[in-house]
A = this chain, B = another copy of it.
Amino acid sequence: MLDYKLLEALATVIETGGFERAGLTLGLSQSAVSQRIKLLEARLGQPVLVRHPSLKATAAGQRLLNHVQQVQLLERDLRHTLPALTNNRTRLRIALNADSLATWWAQAIGDFCQRENLLLDLVIEDQDIGLRRMREGDVAACLCSSDQPVAGARCTGLGRMQYRALARPDYIGRHFPDAGDLTAFRQAPAIVFGPHDQLQHRFLASQGYHGQFPFHLCPSSEGFVRLARAGIGYGMIPDHQGQEWLASGDLADLAPGVSVDVDLYWHYWRHGGDFMERLTQTLVQQASSLLAVDR
């Protein structure tokens, strides 16, 4: 068998981002962690880590990480059937989109975490990067809008988030005095999440507008809603966040009846064992009440 002490050292260095922090987590000195990595590299005959420009696994290191992650999931199952083995908690690193984390995610997974003693290690990523980190063995699962599973993984549809163009009523009155006047989009500042955000473009296309538009960039779901409520722009806000402010009258719908929908898929390792199956079942079930689904 492989020497899992060495593999665990590698996984912990990558997870914590450094030798010193890995040592703290493992209860080892920094030099002991470093020696384990060196030994692993000597046995493998090639490096598993590159130090510059930032600490990351080599291609070989990534294959090892991927393996360690699956072994850890299987160990989780074993501990479930043999509770006396250890009372350690599982930690699962999951990549997900910022809007899910800011809205329905906690409700969907809260009870499961308590029941199963699961600790979450959440990372916010665009779907392309989230799936790449999964291929690289850096995350165990990925929630995103791609329906293309990575090799060795499964992909399950959970439902969809619906976004509407919301702004403060006085903002709409000031910037969009004439409903249907497309030239208003050229002047009215939008709020977009980041340079890769396609929601705004999809909304404008649905309105028949394809030109330039001024925009604020705000990479925070909560900050996004707050900027809209402060009256400095309109933006695509998920129903989970928008409904409260529509009801209170703080925000209004710029294009009533128009929503831009984003389908969400859950990607997870095929050999993730019973624990991953239970987590997936929980998410599918919770999402059916928390997300919009086709009936």
Contacts and interface: CB of A to CB of B under 8 A. Distances in A.
A102 interface: yes
B223 A122 contact: yes
Specify how many copies of this chain sit in the oligomer.
2
B232 A105 contact: no
Interface stretch (A158-166, A211-219, A270-278): A211-219
Contacts of A124: 219-220
Contacts of A119: 189, 214-216
Interface stretch (A34-42, A109-117, A147-155): A109-117
A216 B121 contact: yes
Contact of A89 (B17, B103, B105, B214): B214
Contacts of A89: 189, 214
Contacts of A110: 227, 230-232
Contacts of A204: none
A101 interface: yes
B222 A101 contact: yes
Interface string A105-135: 1110111011000011111100000000000
A98 interface: yes
Contact of A114 (B109, B223, B232): B232
A256 interface: no
Range for the number of chain A residues in contact with chain B = 35 or more
A163 B199 CA distance: 34
A214 B89 CA distance: 8
Contact of A105 (B17, B111, B223): B223
Interface of A: 16-17, 21, 53, 89, 98, 101-103, 105-107, 109-111, 113-114, 119-124, 189, 195, 214-223, 226-227, 229-232
Given A102-B222, A113-B230, 20 more contacts: A53-B53, A89-B214, A101-B218, A102-B226, A103-B222, A106-B223, A106-B232, A109-B230, A110-B227, A113-B216, A119-B214, A120-B217, A121-B217, A122-B217, A122-B220, A122-B223, A124-B219, A124-B220, A220-B221, A222-B222
Ordered nearest first, which 4 A-B pairs have the shortest CB separation? A110-B230, A106-B226, A101-B223, A222-B222
